[in-house]
Amino acid sequence: MLNEKERKEIKIFSKRAQMEVVKMIAGLPAGHLGGCLSICDLLSVLYNKQMKIEPSNPEWEERDWLVDSKGHSGPAVYASLALKGYFPMEQLATLNIPHTDLPSHCDRNHTVGIDMTTGSLGQGASLAAGVANGMKIDGRDNYVFLILGDGEIQEGQVWEMAMHAASRKLEHLIAFVDYNKLQIDGRTDTDSICNVGDIAAKFRSFGWYAQSVNGHDVDAIDDAITLAKANRGCPSVIVMDTVKGYGWSKSANQVGSHSRGFTAEEKEEALAEMQKELDRYEGTYA
C-alpha cells in the first residue's frame, strides 16, 4: 500500500518520464511512442518503490534486475534511469543518433543501468528466466522483473520460458504483461491477427501465480508486486490492463502510436497535455 507521499512521487515521476519520452522521440523522424507511454506507471512503481537498486552503483550484486523484453520501449526505461540519476538527463537527447549509448532498443553493453539486451521479441523472456535461475542456484534473493508485450506473447519462446520457469520454481521471477490490446498493426484481443485470449488463465495453467490489475493504478500495481514477492514455489505474472499511447489524447489507444513522429505543434500539444496532468498531481496529492 502506498502512502500519500509515495503516491505523489510515483505519479509525478511517471508523468515526467512520459514527457521525456515525448521530447526524445520528437527529436527523431519516429520512435516507439505507444508502448513506451503504456509502461511508465509500472516503471515508476518499480524504480521508486519495489526494486532494490543503487543508481550510483549500477552493477551492485545485490540489486534486482529489470529485463524489458519488449526492448523497443527502451526510451521509457532510459527516461526512468535518467530521472533516478543513473546518467545525466541531457543524455536523453542522444536517443538513436549515430554512436549513441541510448539505442532505440535496450543494450546492456551501451547503457548504464540496463541489465539485459533485448529487442528480438520473446528472447528477453528466456534471458530473464535464466538470470532468475542463476540467482536461485547462487542462493541470492534478488528479484528479476520481466516486462513482456501482449503482442510479444504470441512468440512461442515465451511459453517455453513459462513452462521452464514453473518447473524450476523460479519464485523470484516476476513478469508483467503490458496488455495494451494493440500490437504493431492491429489488436491483440480480437481474431484479426492472433487473439491472445485470457492471459492470466494461460499463465496459471502453466503453473504460475497470476494476477490482473489496472496498469495505470499505481496502488494496484504496487499491491500486486507485494503479493507476488510473498508468493512461494512458482513464478508470478501480473497482467496489466493498460492503454497504448497513454497520456496524450492523440496517441491513446491508437494503433498508429506504435511508432510515430511529431510535428513541432504536436510535440507542444502532447507536452502541454502532460504538463496539465503533472500540475494536477502536484496539486492533488499531499
Q: Is 72 a binder of ligand TPP (CB under 6 A)?
A: yes
Nearer to ligand TPP, 134 or 256 (CB): 256
Q: Which of 113, 149, 215, 245 is the binder for ligand TPP (CB under 6 A)?
A: 149
Q: Which of 27, 58, 119, 261 is the binder for ligand TPP (CB under 6 A)?
A: 119
What minimum distance in Å lies between the beta carbon of 1 and ligand TPP?
Answer: 28
Complete DSSP assignment for 117-140: ---STTHHHHHHHHHHHHHHHTT-
Residue linked to cell 495505470: 216
Nearer to ligand TPP, 55 or 261 (CB): 261
Q: Is 260 a binder of ligand TPP (CB under 6 A)?
A: no
Round to whole Å and give the CA distance between 270 and 286.
Answer: 26
> What's the grid cell of residue 31?
520512435
Q: Is 151 a binder of ligand TPP (CB under 6 A)?
A: yes
Round to whole Å and give the CA distance between 5 and 88.
Answer: 25
> What's the grid cell of residue 28?
527523431
Q: Is 257 a binder of ligand TPP (CB under 6 A)?
A: no
Q: Which of 28, 184, 194, 252 is the binder for ligand TPP (CB under 6 A)?
A: 184
Q: Is 34 a binder of ligand TPP (CB under 6 A)?
A: yes
| Residues 6 or more apart in contact with residue 124 via CB below 8 angstroms | 67, 68, 69, 70, 71, 116, 118, 146, 148
Of 8-16, 34-42, 203-211, 267-275, the segment contacting ligand TPP by CB under 6 A is 34-42
Query: What backbone phi and psi angles, to 5 degrees, belong to 272?
Result: -65, -40
Q: Which residues bind ligand TPP (CB under 6 A)?
A: 34-35, 38, 70, 72, 119-122, 149-152, 178, 180, 182-184, 244, 258
